[in-house]
Amino acid sequence: MKKEAFELVVFTIQQEADDLGYANLKAVSADTLLFGGDDGIDSLSLVRIVAAIERAAEERFGRQVVLADDKAMSMRNSPFRTVGTLTELLSERLGGGHG
């Protein structure tokens, strides 16, 4: 599940990269920084990416996945920080019976 989640996250981010205007998101790895710090993307771009991943996950796995819930928003280490942490979150939500 984690490999599929990673592929979906990477594919979706790369698809959105052009629209968002972040050239560094055209080729990403697990360590690619998303949100936070000076080099991260803006909050609106994060909203777009999270919504696109939720949509893609629903199409791919046939069920609704909610990434941005209270639990995710209040974690000490933001799950939206890198491609890797976002994959962890998606994988957990897909495996954990949420949504």
Alpha helices, DSSP H, located in the chain: 2-20, 43-61, 70-73, 83-95
Question: According to CB under 8 A, which one of 1, 27, 29, 55 is a site residue for another protein?
Answer: 55
Task: Please compute, for residue 60, the number of CA atoms within 13 A of its CA located in the half-sphere on the CB side.
Answer: 19
Q: Could you tell me which of 27, 14, 31 has the C-alpha nearest to residue 83?
A: 31
Site residues for another protein, window 21-50 (CB under 8 A)?
A: 44, 48
Which of these segments, 5-13, 52-60, 70-78, 83-91, binds another protein (CB under 8 A)? 52-60
Task: Work out whether 72 is an interface residue with another protein (CB under 8 A).
Answer: no
Q: Which residues bind another protein (CB under 8 A)?
A: 44, 48, 51-52, 54-55, 58, 64
